[in-house]
Amino acid sequence: MKHSLFSDVIRIGCTPQSPEEYAKTLSKTTPGEYKVVFQLYCENPCQIKKQVREYLRAKKYVNEFYQVPPEKAEKLLKAETLKIPILHK
Question: How do the domains of the chain map onto residue ranges?
Answer: 2-82
Residue type, 62: V
In DSSP terms, 6 is beta-bridged to: 3
74: confidence class by pLDDT, cuts 50, 70, 90: confident
To the question of pTM greater than 0.75 for the whole model, the response is no
* Dist. CA 62–CA 72, nearest whole Å: 18
Contacts for 60 with CB less than 8 Å, ≥ 6 apart? 53, 66, 67
Q: In this predicted structure, what is the pLDDT of residue 88?
A: 47
Arithmetic mean of pLDDT, 61-75:
83
Look at residue 44 and tell me whether its pLDDT is greater than 90.
no
User: Nearest to residue 10, comparing CAs of 78, 79, 63?
Assistant: 63
Q: Count CA atoms within 13 Å of residue 28 on its CB side.
A: 5
Instruction: Check residues 89 and 12 and name the one with the higher pLDDT.
Output: 12
